[in-house]
Structure 1
């Protein structure tokens, strides 16, 4: 069956609207969505208020019980059909992701591919064992089973809008929850409406899934609404702190996947060309706008200059521009404010003694691939997440110092170690305080099969993906059964 159609994302259906139990207008009207590469208005979507979140949460709660009562195989079937629809309409959807998020075509294609994988992996959870028989102190039988939370609120970011939305939405749905989703208002189509369309076509019952683009007001309403039992948030540490604070006051479960200052440790026996290639990929993929981006390249001082020169050469040959040309490696930074933040970090490093070996400038929102060497603690480039295409190179004298420098960060998302000596690389890696460790690879790795998350400012210890999803999107319920009620002495 070919589900693809020439205009799957027919804008007549959703222009100026949000997705409740059906496409409908919001109380506050619509906003324009712009292409960050050229400022072109590509769509108009409904912008949600707190009142719209209340509507969505109320409708979701009303629909959730019937959805959870469906046979697990039926829920899984709907998800697998949604994955089929996503893949078969990929060529059209890739174009939306490119225009809305500033992605290059290969990066947008990764989102389609990985998005379908996340949905299919989630579908397998529906038929996994979710209960235990427990010992008893009397003649009753005892069991523990995992049950849905009810309604899950999802808040997702702009950088990988499709994948970073689906990795929460898909497992939450298949495990019997309803979902109210607030995508970033800069990427509401890639991060929300595409997902609404594939589930709509796949036959997901009305009311089970809602997409309401919105700002801080809508996000706060999600965290406060009594119909919502859990919040799954992906974004900055600052935003996550606010979400955790508000949701905590309302006693909701909170899953936070935040930023990172991820170290790639290159030991002195590494192949120089391969190590530089890993560093460039980790630093520059999607303009560095990735939570797992290589934020700090820690290199043994004996090879630091060699790595820096190779990185500078790569940076100088990476074309930057509008991804629609299909001729660039780096697209636009998402906003003017983010450009200003990147420039502040680069300028601070240079003023404090770092060497600018490549880049360091921008043309509008197109920031050149940049290399800073001699980065040290106390510089913003060492301490803060850049979220831009900047390779920050710091050197170390011993493996012990490499570990100390990597662990200085308040973040703890990902790390990589590159060495020809596997035992040595593991010895270094085992000491790093991160949620994801990659030996002989850079830091940008993700997928549906492994628990994903971080420590410290990178998250609250929660994980999503693979075996972690059942733990996150359901909760234990103890069930005890007596053959018949017995009298008590009172």
Structure 2
């Protein structure tokens, strides 16, 4: 499936693996070792224009196919994710730095996303409207046309397929721009899966590239919808550019999720949840628990047990060792994490665990007694860092959890689940988990955040996907033409 002789130095354009217009390539690097695993083509703005032309032509024929044929392609794609799981998982571990459990989870979600998307071609795509005239009046959902999907490095399979699959299923063509750092896992794999599934040429194209490719996608006249997952700073630029060109932009952005531990919680259970939510996949997940808000009666025990767990979690190369955490994606990201940690300690936080690294392997870190203006508490760290703060009343907990710009995921631990729901109703967040941590994902569930975390639930579930990747048009039908007064 991923034979390098097929994709080495190339991009996927118009149904073929070709050299990019500029002839340049990116190295494919294993972060755990620094080893170069291959080279992938580096797309440029000229390739975007070519891809958009291919996509526009291919989309019409794809949308015109019977819904059963489009559904069959998606079902075959789901089967192929399962059939080639071992091979793709190996790339996911080495290129992304994911531990095998995370890599396997991503593959399971990818297959399920395709199976869920396979239900969309036959989903009701309209409504019959009341009309004051003697006519049939319909609100009809039609494909948007060409959809650009811009996916990040951290979980490239899930964060690509959750937009690619439903957009294709609903009759659109897709141009996928994966992050160049994980372009094989997040791009080549996607292209090869759908190529083998029988998707017609030009309906899906893959252009690994930099900001210039993203800018070209937002400005190209044939691209009508942008589905972007990434940082809030980059998302603001994408949203601004899309608005300038009158395009819809679905933005799934950063987070600094709060995890509330109420006074009736079991500390050991809460710490188990917290460690997973804060340190899983090296904290490189938008839903990662960043702010641990713990009732004062449990605070000291919570900090001590979370720090002890952090100190005992093994960190290393997930391709060769049994580890809980793999490498950070690159030096730039590692240095950003470390700057936030050291800045927080300088601001008054107490380093209870971690705060050190070797190469790209960053130790899981616990910052206790964090000031509310400490950078690791206020900002999205995108690393294995837990900032812990105490509260005394529920009103104070609500105030702490609601502060800041982000509103992606929220976790609440309490023995009284209804009390947890009542508390969650007071805190703005796109996702809420009572008696669970913040990192969860299911293909049939709507996903998205509020505030600086994005433009709401635009991925997952039939209704959200239909809303995201179709346009609505009004259609009327009369049996005879009316007569007008002039």
Q: Is 1:428 aligned to residue 418 of structure 2?
A: no
Worse-superposed segment, 276-285 or 369-378: 369-378
Q: Is 1:286 aligned to residue 278 of structure 2?
A: no
Is the CA contact (8 Å cut-off) linking 1:30 and 1:45 kept in structure 2?
yes
Is the CA contact (8 Å cut-off) linking 2:140 and 2:474 kept in structure 1?
yes
Is the CA contact (8 Å cut-off) linking 2:277 and 2:439 kept in structure 1?
yes
Correspondence list, 1:121-270, <5 A: 121-270=116-265
> How many positions carry a matched residue from both structures?
483
Q: Deviations over 1:288-316 (max 9, x none)?
A: 00000001110001111100111011101
For residue 485 of structure 1, report the CA deviation from its aligned partner: 2.4
The partner residue of 1:24 within 18, 21, 37 is 18
For residue 489 of structure 1, report the CA deviation from its aligned partner: 2.9
TM-score, with structure 2 as normaliser: 0.98
For residue 377 of structure 1, report the CA deviation from its aligned partner: 1.3
For residue 487 of structure 1, report the CA deviation from its aligned partner: 3.6
3-state DSSP of counterpart to 2:234: helix
The partner residue of 1:12 within 5, 8, 13 is 5
User: What is the aligned partner in structure 2 of residue 471 from structure 1?
Assistant: 467
Unaligned runs of 5+ in 1: 1-7
Instruction: Provide runs of 4+ in structure 1 moved above 6 Å.
Output: none
Is the CA contact (8 Å cut-off) linking 1:278 and 1:442 kept in structure 2?
yes
For residue 462 of structure 1, report the CA deviation from its aligned partner: 4.3
Is the CA contact (8 Å cut-off) linking 1:381 and 1:392 kept in structure 2?
yes
For residue 76 of structure 1, report the CA deviation from its aligned partner: 0.6
Distance 1:424 1:140 in 2: 51
Q: Deviations over 1:447-478 (max 9, x none)?
A: 11111000000002242101311111112111
Distance 2:342 2:57 in 1: 53
User: What is the aligned partner in structure 1 of residue 302 from structure 2?
Assistant: 307
User: What is the aligned partner in structure 1 of residue 345 from structure 2?
Assistant: 350
User: What is the aligned partner in structure 1 of residue 476 from structure 2?
Assistant: 480
User: What is the aligned partner in structure 2 of residue 359 from structure 1?
Assistant: 354
User: What is the aligned partner in structure 2 of residue 325 from structure 1?
Assistant: 320
For residue 129 of structure 1, report the CA deviation from its aligned partner: 0.9
For residue 488 of structure 1, report the CA deviation from its aligned partner: 2.6
3-state DSSP of counterpart to 1:103: coil
Worse-superposed segment, 462-471 or 139-148: 462-471
3-state DSSP of counterpart to 1:371: strand
Distance 2:458 2:209 in 1: 25
User: What is the aligned partner in structure 2 of residue 91 from structure 1?
Assistant: 86
Q: Deviations over 1:117-166 (max 9, x none)?
A: 11111111111111111111111210111100000000000111011100
Note the aligned Cα RMSD (angstroms): 0.9
Distance 2:415 2:194 in 1: 46
3-state DSSP of counterpart to 1:325: coil
Distance 1:17 1:353 in 2: 50
The partner residue of 1:417 within 388, 412, 417 is 412
The partner residue of 1:461 within 456, 469, 479 is 456
For residue 185 of structure 1, report the CA deviation from its aligned partner: 0.5
Q: Deviations over 1:232-288 (max 9, x none)?
A: 000000010010011110000110000101000000110110000000000000000
Is the CA contact (8 Å cut-off) linking 2:447 and 2:456 kept in structure 1?
no
Distance 2:245 2:325 in 1: 42
Distance 1:372 1:160 in 2: 26
Distance 2:238 2:291 in 1: 27
Is the CA contact (8 Å cut-off) linking 2:430 and 2:457 kept in structure 1?
no
Unaligned runs of 5+ in 2: none
3-state DSSP of counterpart to 1:186: helix
3-state DSSP of counterpart to 1:158: coil
3-state DSSP of counterpart to 2:11: strand
For residue 419 of structure 1, report the CA deviation from its aligned partner: 0.5
Q: Is 1:60 aligned to residue 55 of structure 2?
A: yes
Distance 2:110 2:143 in 1: 23
